[in-house]
Structure 1
Amino acid sequence: MVIFKYYLLYTFFLIGTFCTSQGQQASRIDKKWEFLKSDLGGIWEAVRPVGKGDPESVPLWETVDLPHCFNATDAVDPDVNYYQGPGWYRKNLSIENPYNKGRTLLHFEGAGQKTAVYVYTTKVGEHVGGYDEWTIDITDAVKAFKETSICKEQFKGEVPISIRADNSRDLEMIPSDLADFNLYGGIYRHLNLQYIPALSIDKVFAHTEVDEKGKEGKIAIKTRLLNHTSEKIGKLSVKLLDPKGREVANLEETPSISASEINIEALLVKKPQLWSPDKPDLYTLVLTLNNADEPYVSTTKIGFRHFEFKEKGPFLLNGKRLLLRGTHRHEDHAGVGAAMSDAMILKEMDMMKQMGVNFIRLGHYQQSRVVLNACDSLGILVWEEIPWCRGGIGGDVYKEQARRMLTNMIEQHYNHPAIIIWGLGNENDWPGDFSVFDKEKIRDFMMELNDLSHQLDSSRKTAIRRCDFCKDIVDVYSPSIWAGWYRGLYTDYKQSSEDEMKKVNHFLHVEWGGDSHARRHAENPDKILAEVTGGKGTDERSGDASLFGGAARVSKDGDWSESYICNLIDWHLKEQETMPWLTGSAYWPFKDFSTPVRPDNPVPYVNQKGVVERNLNKKEAYYVFQSYWTNTPMVHIYGHSWPIRWGEKEEEKMIKVYSNAEEVTLIVNGENYGTKKRNSQDFPAAGLRWMVKLKEGTNQIKAMTKIGGKVLTDEINQVYQTAKWGKPQKMIFEKIHQQDDVATIQVSFLDAKGVKCLDAQNWVNFSAAGDGILIADQGTSDGSRKVQAYNGRAIIKVKLTGNKCVVSAKSDELKTAFVMLE
């Protein structure tokens, strides 16, 4: 069923996301580009004739498919800074525009961070900004080149397209290189070749309104044209189809000959079906523009919903309170960087929905159209923002880029019913890029962006996060509250939130949580809290993210275990159920992501605050959210990735179960330990916890519940170790699994007596020689060449390519361990 759901979603996006217009011919040109990860001496080096096998054919290009990111692996390489510089792409295209006086366009869905486009040796355009969509009109350059003998003789009638993408550091660009995420390079979203007639629809802005009771819906439509003809424009017809495809409204408009825009003030719909997270009903708006070539048809998905932020109160959707249950997303994934496939994106978004998410903040930049369409169809409300993130404020070029990116983001994503907030900035109180940090200049520019956003779209709110001296400017504000991580205790959360709510009209808490090293667990995860001062602030301040120096804090002195983060999340979620004024919150983030400013993390260069790893493997925290936020029956025993627990003989150990069932029964080693009722305010695990004396060796643990007449169970096996251990003295290396040509190997730390050191956090460096390749530089706990051990072990995978491969595990002050794979 899930696979079929993905297929339907994927089909919808391939058709509905891209093919939004008829009367144009468009195709993705993603396949078989040549790529060079360096600069050229000039455009001539990309196009000059070279004989096949010519030894002087340098530099050497590689063949790649788009989307492509040239930081796919080096962003998490523990030994180098990630590459920031130019990269070149080239491809010869057959270009034949079928339209009389038609235009030929290259449509980029996203490329980073500066891009220049060439037709043969002619530079036809450039773009600054790594996240918005843009087009380049190559019509005239193509026509001129095809008239040359070079086209006919050297290129056999095809047209050479060369593209230079550049993510070099630049203080006059946003986002800042001080940002806590990589500024990726490459053509990391789809690239499309479009043929459009001389008269076509460029953009459609559909402003929907509905009263909170949903009695009547209105649509005001503004249509922007691309008009390269002096011929008379035919009629514009408008049709509205309901979620089942039935026509419910229509009209016709006759524009003037020289029109560049067509405005339709009101299309009325009686009792529209309202869009919501539980029922994300989408209407289809079809505009048909008649012209000399053929009708040009533009299709847009829209929705009707009414939302309101009550002053110092909750969020309302369609007249009813909705607690925003949110998370965040970076466009980043193991092995590909920013170049996520549509299937990867859709799987990620569906996993969010299955976790119970109804709100997402897209951090910290405009994201792929696939993401926004997924939010529309899945029912996930959106805060989307421009990447004015950290560093201060630059000059005129800097500001103009911010204005342009805000304009593009709003215009390109205007019709998405999921979007309720346009974000104007993030952590703009963080200096560093310029010699002068001027708060008044930042305030002035924030006011300008706030006004611009409201001019472009009066129907949505504006917001920023963590810039207190600008919090009075925007409609919605989120302060910095990291209770139990960067400062304070997680039990300070409710009071901190209430204090901050009173300071602004509309409060929304985005970014909370903490890091967890996947597969690391603790018997007493909260012991660090005894060293941390509570009740004196929960904000993040300069230096708090550092693993060195400063006051005691969990982010520096804690164990980074999944056990601790589950408790922190559990507490936040239980408290949110007793905060009737709360609009909502958004956990930071859904998935671990790469960052250049965290080289010393247990997985180097990875922000590990996600509830899933960078490859979408679920951490235990995922199920804590599910137990609070979902109605689909679920039951999950904590510790699926915790193979060995430890303690004294006859010591009672807590077994926690996360479930949304009313009651759960626990069975350990065949013995029934009773049934407990769920109570969200009974911390931890909403009362679904048992104290059990585990036996030495393997324990079979089973949780079961009955929901709707069906029995739902979860089972794990855990070894219980009572033997004490000393300092790690040696390592053992062994293959623990193999599927086809991929072997999984594990290194374990032992003391002098051969006892497993279950709290060891030693660094491990893996390497391979012979017929095998490490599956490394993935930015995951089991996909990193350098990684900190979790409970005295570390895992790596190897792709076998021949007969024998030797893998080594090296850790300081210990003898290197080896394993032979055959």
Structure 2
Amino acid sequence: MQIKYLRLYLMIICLYGGRPAFAQQKARLNTGWEFLKKDLGGIWEAVRAEEKGVPPGIPRWEQVTLPHCFNARDAVDPDMNYYQGAGWYRTRLNIENPYKDGHTLLHFEGAGQKTDVYVYTTRVASHVGGYDEWIVDITQAVNDFRKTEAFQQQFKGNIPISIRCDNSRDLESIPSRLSDFNVYGGIYRYLNLIYTPTTSFDKVFVKTEVDKEGKQGKLNISVRFNDAAKVNSDEGVIKIIDPQGKVIQQSKYNLHTVAGDIPLGLFTVKKPQLWSPDNPALYTVEVTASESGGAFKQTEKIGFRNFEFVDHGPFMLNGKRLLLKGTHRHEDQAGVAAAMTEGMIRQEMLLMKDMGVNFIRLGHYQQSRIVLNLCDSLGILVWEEEPWCRGGLGGEVYKKQARQMLTNMIEQHYNHPSIILWGLGNENDWEGDFSTFDKEKIRAFMSEQNDRAHRLDSTRKTTIRRCDFCKDIVDVYSPSIWAGWYRGTYNEYKQTTLEEFNKVKHFFHAEWGGDSHALRHSEDPDKAFVNIKTGNGADERAGDALLSGGDARVSKDGDWSETYICNLFDWHLKEQEMMPWLTGSAFWIFKDFSTPSRPDNPIPYVNQKGVLERDMTRKESYYVFQSYWTTTPMAHIYGHTWPVRWGEPGEQKIVKVYSNCETVELFLNGKSCGVKKRNSQDFPAAGLHWVVTFNKGPNSIRVVAQKGKAIITDEINQVYQTDKWDRPAKMILEKIADENGFATVQVKIFDKNNVQCLDAANWISFSLSGDGVLQDDLGTSGGSRKVQAYNGRATIKVQTNNGKSVVGVQSPGLQTVFLNL
């Protein structure tokens, strides 16, 4: 489909006369693909015709669309390890390059982890690395195949393209399979077909500089041509366009060679509009090379900004202090794994911006160009990282890949104004992939990578997280501080951070927070503190992530409730407001993601530290950050997903409201509980908390918040249960919703007296027989067939297909229950 529209576009150009205005004709190859989740005996199996005696379905291919990931569902399958091996893709393309002697390219935005590309039976390229972009010139192979008998007879004038991806385990490859995330397989970012004339750029580099006062900006522009480019013209044009779309400079350049990186000119812009999170002003640089067969034009978005990590002090942007308010991101989404569409990525990034994020660390690999473009346009500063993560240091093959991936990341994302930090590694003190662990060799290679990063880009800083024996090598260092989760309590955060801040010249705090099981709430969230040692540091140590053994810690002994994690976030955020020396921090992580390292979590194989679930459903903690980091008026009563609270009759309970408004009034069952003023240092909820007495049974809670002239309201209903429960004795299963072809079923846990056990965290296993399809393997609280109960209940959906099905629920020690749909 994409090729048809590309041909139509080119035909329209020809009909209206003149050569194409753009040499780079580009189309996404999303449809028309077949996929095989196994290896083949050889490339012939991908292209041989069934009419030559091969039985149909050997092997059996399935139709898919790109982007596509091998591990869309099995990454969070509770009963098995995710697939690591080879997978094949194939399609047939009608290739019609409109340029005389032009080039036909396949542009991969990312495919994991090792990839081979074939035209018919000819392997035209191989690539190692799952996260950088790369281009394959298939021109010669296509021309050669057109001369064969198979071109006309078997493939009817189309070009067979086959692609083998492989994410098999390999110790001499980065990232380490000991990493706390899945190393996915597949063509999980967009794949593009590109037609270019003989003269075409591989990259355009725009080095931007601006003084602190913003009086003058400088642009130093250079280009690198594709390997097969030729000098067919000695003239080109450069345009500089301001954020409003006005051409502010235009000049010609002379071209005499296509070898190496070619400087085209130095330009100045007086009083440029400065790029910042509040005003992400983007200029456009257009570079055109003309030739008889067409005009090649490449467009780059750039921004003017000046930043500084003050020695032993805060972060400065454009001469003013900016507290970096950050999070982290993995490319991972329920139902598709790494194969996130542009729409999904945009939705996720907009949710970050709406929460008040102005900084992001992209962990732990180069991410999609779509992400970086959105960071530029939304105003989100970036730490981007090469995938040297855990395991130690391998041999020359290992180091060669690391060198190349660092180089590719910097060169491919060089022009993005959002990027301020190049990450060289993560947790490189974590050994295990090799029989020896040599700190000095790791230091030597870290120094080599640090020098490489500065040589490739002198305008940005280097950084690593959690490798103390390398902290003196990089420009900015982030130690391990997990106060209130892996070590200590959250009220140790400020002192611990100050101690770490004083150890380095430039400090940043990446990774803090903790897990929360969505829809689980607690009346006593901090109860685990009783047995936890304080004054023993707040770093994560070997074994701390396990759910058994070792010292008492919240990560093992806490209740994993949304209530607790809101308290932890709340405390950290209030403290950060009173730390004038702090550059900033990035909590881990914005959205839950899959990991092979955590099979025993309440949602198996899911790291649950996000403020969103894996399908982008917001947890309560999202609003804690919003209340501290945003200015648009908002108010949110804690407990929208907490239908039943519990306690003694007449017992006083706390109600919290997260809001950035100046004043908030709370109403319980229609009666005012008083007006409170926001004070960020009054924990919890910045002083917006009330101690109230609930009625037994239903209660309505409403707030009216005011900020300036704006009035914001929010309300919820909660049942207050005073009946005490004994241990779990039985389950009751019921359908609670049925819409758009999907039925939602809920199981509840009761004691022998039919009182719901509101603290029950039993393991629940859903099953289904019949015409329907269980909506499982999504890695969410309501999309997993095996999940821990949240407050004595669990839900899942069934696609009914207008048929009959039977849902079953099992839980150890309880009688299995069934429900007919």
- TM-score band by shorter chain is over 0.9
Deviation at 1:453, TM superposition (A): 0.2
- AA of the residue aligned to 2:668: V
Does 2:722 align with 1:728?
A: no
CA displacement 1:248-302 (0-9 Å, x = unmatched): 1222211214554320342000000000000000001011111221221111100
Within 5 Å, which residues of 2 pair with 1:186-197?
186-197=186-197
Query: Does the Cα contact within 8 Å between 2:182 and 2:594 map onto a contact in 1?
Result: yes
Closer, same or farther: CA 523–380 of 1 in aligned 2, 3 Å: same
**Counterpart position of 1:343:** 343
In the alignment, the residues of structure 2 paired with residue 741 and residue 577 of structure 1 have an alpha-carbon distance, to the nearest angstrom, of: 48
Does 2:146 align with 1:146?
A: yes
- AA of the residue aligned to 1:478: S
In the alignment, the residues of structure 1 paired with residue 412 and residue 587 of structure 2 have an alpha-carbon distance, to the nearest angstrom, of: 26
User: 3-state SS of the aligned residue for 2:575?
Assistant: helix
In the alignment, the residues of structure 1 paired with residue 369 and residue 721 of structure 2 have an alpha-carbon distance, to the nearest angstrom, of: 51
Does 2:174 align with 1:185?
A: no
TM-score by length of 1: 0.96
- AA of the residue aligned to 2:724: K
How large is the RMSD of aligned CA atoms in angstroms?
1.2
**Counterpart position of 2:424:** 424
In the alignment, the residues of structure 2 paired with residue 227 and residue 407 of structure 1 have an alpha-carbon distance, to the nearest angstrom, of: 17
Name the stretch that deviates more: 502-511 or 709-718: 709-718
Within 5 Å, which residues of 2 pair with 1:396-435?
396-435=396-435
**Counterpart position of 2:540:** 540
Within 5 Å, which residues of 2 pair with 1:319-330?
319-330=319-330
Deviation at 1:215, TM superposition (A): 0.2
**Counterpart position of 2:485:** 485
CA displacement 1:546-597 (0-9 Å, x = unmatched): 0010000000000000000000000000000000000000010000000000
- AA of the residue aligned to 2:655: I
Closer, same or farther: CA 189–550 of 1 in aligned 2, 3 Å: same
- AA of the residue aligned to 2:814: L
In the alignment, the residues of structure 2 paired with residue 47 and residue 144 of structure 1 have an alpha-carbon distance, to the nearest angstrom, of: 16
- AA of the residue aligned to 1:566: C
Deviation at 1:232, TM superposition (A): 4.3
TM-score by length of 2: 0.97
Does 2:499 align with 1:499?
A: yes
Deviation at 1:442, TM superposition (A): 0.3
- AA of the residue aligned to 1:363: G
User: 3-state SS of the aligned residue for 2:551?
Assistant: coil
**Counterpart position of 2:9:** none
**Counterpart position of 1:696:** 696
Deviation at 1:22, TM superposition (A): 2.0
CA displacement 1:462-487 (0-9 Å, x = unmatched): 00000000000000000000000000
User: 3-state SS of the aligned residue for 1:398?
Assistant: helix
**Counterpart position of 2:657:** 657
CA displacement 1:492-520 (0-9 Å, x = unmatched): 10011100011110000000000000000
Query: Does the Cα contact within 8 Å between 2:22 and 2:294 map onto a contact in 1?
Result: no
Within 5 Å, which residues of 2 pair with 1:678-689?
678-689=678-689
**Counterpart position of 2:284:** 284
**Counterpart position of 1:748:** 748
Query: Does the Cα contact within 8 Å between 2:198 and 2:230 map onto a contact in 1?
Result: no
Within 5 Å, which residues of 2 pair with 1:114-263?
114-226=114-226, 228=228, 231-257=231-257, 259-263=259-263
CA displacement 1:52-80 (0-9 Å, x = unmatched): 99745401100000000010000000000
**Counterpart position of 2:810:** 810
Structure 1: 5+ residue runs without aligned partners?
Answer: 1-19
- AA of the residue aligned to 1:746: Q
- AA of the residue aligned to 2:769: A
Query: Does the Cα contact within 8 Å between 1:226 and 1:260 map onto a contact in 2?
Result: no
Deviation at 1:412, TM superposition (A): 0.5
Query: Does the Cα contact within 8 Å between 2:224 and 2:258 map onto a contact in 1?
Result: no
Query: Does the Cα contact within 8 Å between 1:69 and 1:337 map onto a contact in 2?
Result: yes
In the alignment, the residues of structure 1 paired with residue 315 and residue 278 of structure 2 have an alpha-carbon distance, to the nearest angstrom, of: 16
In the alignment, the residues of structure 1 paired with residue 735 and residue 444 of structure 2 have an alpha-carbon distance, to the nearest angstrom, of: 61
Closer, same or farther: CA 804–56 of 1 in aligned 2, 3 Å: closer
**Counterpart position of 1:109:** 109
CA displacement 1:136-171 (0-9 Å, x = unmatched): 111111111101111111111111100000000000
Query: Does the Cα contact within 8 Å between 1:484 and 1:490 map onto a contact in 2?
Result: yes
Percent of pairs with identical residues = 65
- AA of the residue aligned to 1:552: A
Does 2:365 align with 1:365?
A: yes
In the alignment, the residues of structure 1 paired with residue 411 and residue 750 of structure 2 have an alpha-carbon distance, to the nearest angstrom, of: 60
**Counterpart position of 1:26:** 26
Deviation at 1:644, TM superposition (A): 0.3
**Counterpart position of 1:96:** 96
Closer, same or farther: CA 273–788 of 1 in aligned 2, 3 Å: same
CA displacement 1:77-100 (0-9 Å, x = unmatched): 000000000000000111122212
Query: Does the Cα contact within 8 Å between 2:234 and 2:256 map onto a contact in 1?
Result: no
In the alignment, the residues of structure 1 paired with residue 57 and residue 739 of structure 2 have an alpha-carbon distance, to the nearest angstrom, of: 41
**Counterpart position of 1:438:** 438
User: 3-state SS of the aligned residue for 1:51?
Assistant: helix
- AA of the residue aligned to 1:678: R
Deviating 4+ runs (over 2 angstroms):
51-57, 226-234, 257-262, 706-711
Query: Does the Cα contact within 8 Å between 2:72 and 2:336 map onto a contact in 1?
Result: yes
User: 3-state SS of the aligned residue for 1:724?
Assistant: coil
- AA of the residue aligned to 2:96: E
Deviation at 1:790, TM superposition (A): 0.4
In the alignment, the residues of structure 2 paired with residue 336 and residue 230 of structure 1 have an alpha-carbon distance, to the nearest angstrom, of: 42
In the alignment, the residues of structure 2 paired with residue 581 and residue 781 of structure 1 have an alpha-carbon distance, to the nearest angstrom, of: 39
In the alignment, the residues of structure 2 paired with residue 688 and residue 176 of structure 1 have an alpha-carbon distance, to the nearest angstrom, of: 45
User: 3-state SS of the aligned residue for 2:51?
Assistant: coil
Query: Does the Cα contact within 8 Å between 1:768 and 1:774 map onto a contact in 2?
Result: yes
Within 5 Å, which residues of 2 pair with 1:298-309?
298-309=298-309
User: 3-state SS of the aligned residue for 1:524?
Assistant: coil
User: 3-state SS of the aligned residue for 1:590?
Assistant: coil
In the alignment, the residues of structure 2 paired with residue 229 and residue 530 of structure 1 have an alpha-carbon distance, to the nearest angstrom, of: 69
In the alignment, the residues of structure 2 paired with residue 189 and residue 154 of structure 1 have an alpha-carbon distance, to the nearest angstrom, of: 30
Within 5 Å, which residues of 2 pair with 1:497-646?
497-646=497-646
**Counterpart position of 1:72:** 72
Query: Does the Cα contact within 8 Å between 1:198 and 1:226 map onto a contact in 2?
Result: no
**Counterpart position of 1:647:** 647
Deviation at 1:226, TM superposition (A): 2.4
User: 3-state SS of the aligned residue for 2:674?
Assistant: strand
Query: Does the Cα contact within 8 Å between 1:50 and 1:57 map onto a contact in 2?
Result: no
Query: Does the Cα contact within 8 Å between 1:188 and 1:339 map onto a contact in 2?
Result: yes
Structure 2: 5+ residue runs without aligned partners?
Answer: 1-19
Deviation at 1:21, TM superposition (A): 9.2
Closer, same or farther: CA 678–230 of 1 in aligned 2, 3 Å: closer
- AA of the residue aligned to 1:256: H
Deviation at 1:608, TM superposition (A): 0.1
**Counterpart position of 1:707:** 707
**Counterpart position of 1:763:** 763
Does 2:783 align with 1:783?
A: yes
User: 3-state SS of the aligned residue for 2:200?
Assistant: strand
Does 2:688 align with 1:673?
A: no
Query: Does the Cα contact within 8 Å between 1:233 and 1:257 map onto a contact in 2?
Result: no
